[in-house]
């Protein structure tokens, strides 16, 4: 049974968030594979999280799922990626958004577009959901550098033309997250290591399966209360 006081508190928080002139356009959620695979509620909680974000008018939702590689052979690693890909596709298939799922196997990164146009090239007003299964920032940057090197070798560009804008054009994920949420831990990964340089980070010790709407509301409210300096 829902706690009526908690429901009222959630409505008050939501109203205050939506009435603020400081809005979150892009949120990044960082999870471990065990958050989704060790409990049947893991995937269902992910669906709830996305719906809560949409209710707060957050248009871009990125999810990074860390996959442990140490001691895992290639076949088992591929099986883990395939299992996550299958269940995430099923969980998100009914969402009204452009959805792309990326995995770090095989090389180069495997992408599965559930629906919608290319990852970040859709209409600005369209909702987007990007899911990365083990594809971290170092892998993404390595891929971008390789593509730039190819263009230099073919004479398409000169080395002196390489700048931040060119590197960003080769990244898989184009949008910079406003808010990064890490549930159940204080350890971050290197995902969006380039794009999140000016992001605000919010850590909560609430385990993923226990994560509630009010926890998201508190994270967004905390973001709105902060003074963002963007590296200055």
pLDDT at residue 187, rounded to an integer = 67
- pLDDT of residue 109 exceeding 80, the answer is no
Mean pLDDT calculated for residue range 137-141:
86
pLDDT given at position 180: 93
Q: Which pLDDT belongs to residue 227?
A: 73
Q: How far apart are CA 202 and CA 194, in angstroms?
A: 18
Q: Identify the residue whose tokens are 């060790």.
A: 38
pLDDT of residue 80: 81
Per-residue confidence (pLDDT) for residue 222, from 0 to 100:
94
What are 14-51's pLDDT values in tens digits? 899 999 888 899 999 999 888 888 777 889 999 999 99
> Structural domains in the chain?
23-135+176-224 (3.40.1180.10)
Per-residue 3-state assignment (H helix, E strand, C coil) for 34-78:
HHHHCCCHHHHHHHHHHHHHHHCCCCEEEEEEECCCCCCCHHHHH
| β-strand partners of 6 | none
Q: How many Å apart are CA 211 and CA 177, to the nearest integer?
A: 20
């Amino acid at each position: 049974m829902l706690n009526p006081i908690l429901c009222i508190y959630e409505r008050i928080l939501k109203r205050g968030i939506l009435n603020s002139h400081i809005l979150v356009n892009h949120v990044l959620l960082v999870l471990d594979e065990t958050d989704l695979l060790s409990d049947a509620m893991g995937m269902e909680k992910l669906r709830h999280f996305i719906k809560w974000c949409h209710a707060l008018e957050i248009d871009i939702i990125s999810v990074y799922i860390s996959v442990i590689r140490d001691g895992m052979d290639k076949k088992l690693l591929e099986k883990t990626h395939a299992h996550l890909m299958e269940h995430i596709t099923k969980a998100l298939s009914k969402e009204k958004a452009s959805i792309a799922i990326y995995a770090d196997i095989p090389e180069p990164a495997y992408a599965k577009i559930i629906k919608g146009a290319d990852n970040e090239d859709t209409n600005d007003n369209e909702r987007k959901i990007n899911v990365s299964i083990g594809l971290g920032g170092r892998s993404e940057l390595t891929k971008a550098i390789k593509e730039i090197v190819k263009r230099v070798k073919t004479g398409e560009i000169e080395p002196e033309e390489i700048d931040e804008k060119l590197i960003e054009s080769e990244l898989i994920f184009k949008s910079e997250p406003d808010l990064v949420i890490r549930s159940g831990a204080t350890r971050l990964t290197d995902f969006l290591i380039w794009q999140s340089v000016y992001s605000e980070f919010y850590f909560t010790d609430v385990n993923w399966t226990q994560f509630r709407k009010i926890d998201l509301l508190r994270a967004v409210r905390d973001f709105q209360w902060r003074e963002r300096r963007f590296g200055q």
